[in-house]
Chains A and B, each alone.
Chain A
């Protein structure tokens, strides 16, 4: 049994979680006199308990939430008894803050789920149980609170427990301890309550002191993700990291993943000394016997039983942000210390947080949990989350806003990744381009509807064609009539629309063509994704910058008028956003530049790029 227990408290709003923790701190004498006098002052000002002390105020730290009487962020609390140290993540019950709950659960070994005896199980109770289970917590206590309000009725307690037992089984908790309490009055927190002689189990604090919160998973051999390479002088090269699993000794054979090279541990360097061995949880610096290729994101593991490597995963993902997670969109993925560009290739289903049932979904919204396929731009070392939290967890970061938009847990590698091999072909892009005496490019026009994209693109194509080049144009309207006829105009559909067009454009460029794409393509993320599918210099973003008022005046298809009337939903510029490019290769301002001049500028730009390329060769 560890001498420290990290646990999370969760439950629905108003179940009294903050009061429960305030009470634990109070009863374990962790409250200082100056905190108490502040508490007494605050209780009369903000408190909900009249003149009595409101324990929730001890933990509800931020001014705005004190005024609203709800908890809006994770608070970490520390207390100790002579038997154990505790780190508590107090997390909010409001649905929109579920992401904070997942945050608290990610570093916890046990969950205390608070239920209001008067209200019984809530949607949030199920949701939180599922989230803590999803994050690998296998031990659950249920504090059935406010028992004083139901006169300590054993039937109420038993009914809630029986109703919840199937959930405990379904979610795979190894242990489950229901406890009837009154946080407000302090019953069954540290002292057994005289009010409930029928309850023979432990008090909440007794339970927390004694529970064995270890998880039954098969022991993994040595694994350590490298955080950084420490190379202060030419004769010292150490690999720093925190050991994720197993044990390592000087002399052990290890394999580097990716790369696959094998070598031996020369020494384990610690502060002013060397260690003979080290094990899971320790931060160490390892020196290797041979010069091998190791960098941040590499995993060192036991040579005979190395860590897995893959670029295709099935994973469970929680959407943490207001920006939906959409299939086809790419994100930065931080998996232990490795970083890759990850694309959600498919959303297999969304999990109903209350019932656990699977639902079809094209996008995951904030607080949604889904099972997805993820593909990465390079193979990364990993372990399934079930076997090793450290090597199986990842976050998804938006490439433009830098927000943390998703949190994921790897279930397994999709084996087909290992089996898909690119067909080897002798006739390649270069050969096709040389035959046509041209450099294939993708000219990507973006701008509002009626901004002049098609007009400029048409004239450009004529001029390029007249110069004897091979061209092809992909236009929003004609592609939507065929290839993309199944797609509408929601964010998810727009993303898929652009993904397909990107892939078609890429094939065209591979065929050696000067490819002109003319799409509103309102989102930066999709355009950046499109860019990432081409080689450097192949993708030329042309921003047709026309003010909305002018587009609306032109309105050749009468679409703006329709959108203004409300007859056309999700119309870019009206009720759907357009994100202008930050640094397009060509920026055309049609309000002040005639069409011919716009085309001249693009042609000049292409010519100069061609010359630069010749020089480089």
Chain B
């Protein structure tokens, strides 16, 4: 491992240990993606030979790729960690779905609202998440220990100064702290670390022949029979992979022939678009991520 990756790893492990030392009831968000896989690996290293002393929480919209769910269940078993899965059943029963609802409303209800429900039910005072500062402009200003007022709101003007490696996790009841151990990692670092540590990730990240349809200039994978096809639309088989994973109807695939980690690293280094380009939800409005964050989105 290069010196730079080793120092990123040491910093993340230090952050995870501080999180556990300072919290009453911590939880780790687990989204099944590559960043979650790296974060989970770091947590296992941080507390070895013990298992990480917190549960994993997955907010399941029920529209994730099938492969993701199989992967999630297997990994949690292998780590010996408790896996909590939360779905916003009320909204699901009301028929909220990613096709007939606009992506803003759908995400607000099935992800943000669902997340707040899960956190309130669990009574967690500290939530570890895999967000990185290089992902998006408003995230570049995020603290490593990020203070949330009651209702999980993020006020960019009320953030605590964060100096050195000293974190202030003191809160009143109802408030919470979100901790981002991957703050200083970039997408390229994540891939290089996955390669160096041989971390298992969902196969969707590797190129394969998959059934896709073309919508708004993006390739959308037809993952199951729930996907309604437009008139004259027939899925075609394309060599594609995903740079980022989410709900399949909202996550665009990219044409690629990268079938190994080395090829992915190579592709990432020459990429001309950011990874969030494949996330349909970010394009809704100019400062959409900032707005979602204020409301409590991860």
Contacts and interface: CB of A to CB of B under 8 A. Distances in A.
Interface of A: 2-4, 32-35, 38, 41-42, 45, 58-64, 66, 72-78, 80, 85, 87, 99-100, 102-103, 106-107, 227-228, 230, 232, 236, 238, 240-242, 269-272, 281-283, 285, 296, 320, 332, 334-337, 389-390, 393-395, 397, 402-404, 407
B2 A3 contact: yes
A348 B51 CA distance: 49
B180 to A, nearest CB: 11
Nearest to A273: B48
A73 B160 CA distance: 11
Interface residues of B, number: 58
Nearest to A395: B166
Given A66-B287, A395-B161, 18 more contacts: A4-B7, A32-B273, A34-B274, A63-B290, A74-B141, A76-B133, A76-B183, A78-B133, A78-B186, A106-B163, A107-B165, A241-B17, A269-B49, A271-B45, A389-B164, A402-B170, A402-B172, A407-B163
Nearest to B271: A32
A188 to B, nearest CB: 25
A228 B20 contact: yes
A236 B47 CA distance: 12
A76 B184 CA distance: 8
A59 B140 contact: yes
Interface in B148-197: 156-157, 159-166, 168, 170-172, 183-184, 186, 188
Query: Which one of A42, A60, A106, A336 has the highest number of Cβ atoms from chain B below 10 Å of its Cβ?
Result: A106
Contact of B168 (A75, A334, A337): A334
B286 A38 contact: yes
A279 to B, nearest CB: 11
Nearest to A336: B166
A390 B164 contact: yes
Contacts of B45: 270-271
A131 to B, nearest CB: 11
Contacts of A58: 137
A75 B141 contact: yes
Contacts of B170: 332, 397, 402
Given A42-B286, A78-B186, A283 B161 contact: no
Given A63-B290, A236-B49, A271-B44, A296 B21 contact: yes
B59 interface: no
22 contacts: A35-B274, A45-B286, A58-B137, A59-B140, A62-B287, A66-B287, A73-B159, A75-B140, A103-B161, A103-B163, A106-B163, A227-B21, A230-B47, A240-B17, A242-B165, A271-B45, A332-B170, A390-B164, A390-B165, A393-B164, A395-B168, A404-B168
Contacts of B273: 32-34
Among B13, B51, B166, B276, chain A packs the most CB atoms within 10 A around the CB of B166
A282 B10 contact: yes
Nearest to B10: A283
B18 interface: yes
A398 to B, nearest CB: 9
Give the top 3 A-B pairs by smallest Cβ distance, nearest first: A232-B50, A61-B137, A283-B13
A236 to B, nearest CB: 6
B17 A228 contact: yes
Given A296-B21, A334-B166, A230 B50 contact: yes
A339 to B, nearest CB: 10
B161 A407 contact: yes
B10 A78 contact: no
Nearest to A87: B184
Contacts of B186: 78
A404 B158 CA distance: 11
Contact of A72 (B157, B164, B276): B157
Contacts of A85: 4
Contacts of A232: 49-51
Contacts of A34: 273-274, 276-277
A332 B6 CA distance: 33
Interface in B85-141: 133-134, 136-141
A522 to B, nearest CB: 21
Contact of B272 (A32, A59, A236, A320): A32
Interface string B8-51: 01110110011011000000000000000000000011111111
Contact of B17 (A64, A99, A227, A395): A227
B3 interface: yes
Given A3-B4, A62-B290, A33 B141 contact: no
B115 to A, nearest CB: 22
A35 B283 CA distance: 11
Interface string B260-298: 000000000001111011000000001100110000000
A235 to B, nearest CB: 11
Contact of A393 (B47, B137, B163): B163
A78 B134 contact: yes
Contacts of B9: 283
A103 to B, nearest CB: 5
B141 A394 contact: no
A394 B166 CA distance: 7
Contact of B140 (A61, A106, A269): A61
Specify which of B14, B20, B136, B140 lies most central, judged by the most chain A CB atoms within 10 Å of its CB.
Answer: B140
A58 B47 CA distance: 38
Nearest to A389: B164
Given A76-B133, A282-B10, A2 B3 contact: yes
A106 B290 CA distance: 26
Given A3-B4, A4-B7, A32-B271, A77 B140 contact: yes
A281 B7 contact: yes
Contacts of A335: 166
Contacts of B3: 2-4
B94 to A, nearest CB: 31
B39 to A, nearest CB: 15
B21 A402 contact: no
A32 B166 contact: no
A336 B162 CA distance: 13
Given A85-B4, A100-B161, A282-B10, A63 B287 contact: yes
A102 B271 contact: no
A14 to B, nearest CB: 20
A395 B141 contact: no
Interface string B196-234: 000000000000000000000000000000000000000
Nearest to B287: A63
B211 to A, nearest CB: 26
Contacts of B160: 403-404
B290 A269 contact: no
Contacts of B47: 230, 240
A237 to B, nearest CB: 11
A387 B165 CA distance: 16
Contacts of A334: 166, 168
Nearest to A38: B286
A378 B291 CA distance: 45
B92 to A, nearest CB: 31
B269 to A, nearest CB: 10
B226 to A, nearest CB: 29
A238 B137 CA distance: 40
Given A62-B156, A390-B165, A397-B168, A32 B274 contact: yes
A102 B159 CA distance: 14
B272 to A, nearest CB: 5
Contacts of B138: 61-62
Contacts of B291: 63
Contacts of B137: 58-62, 75
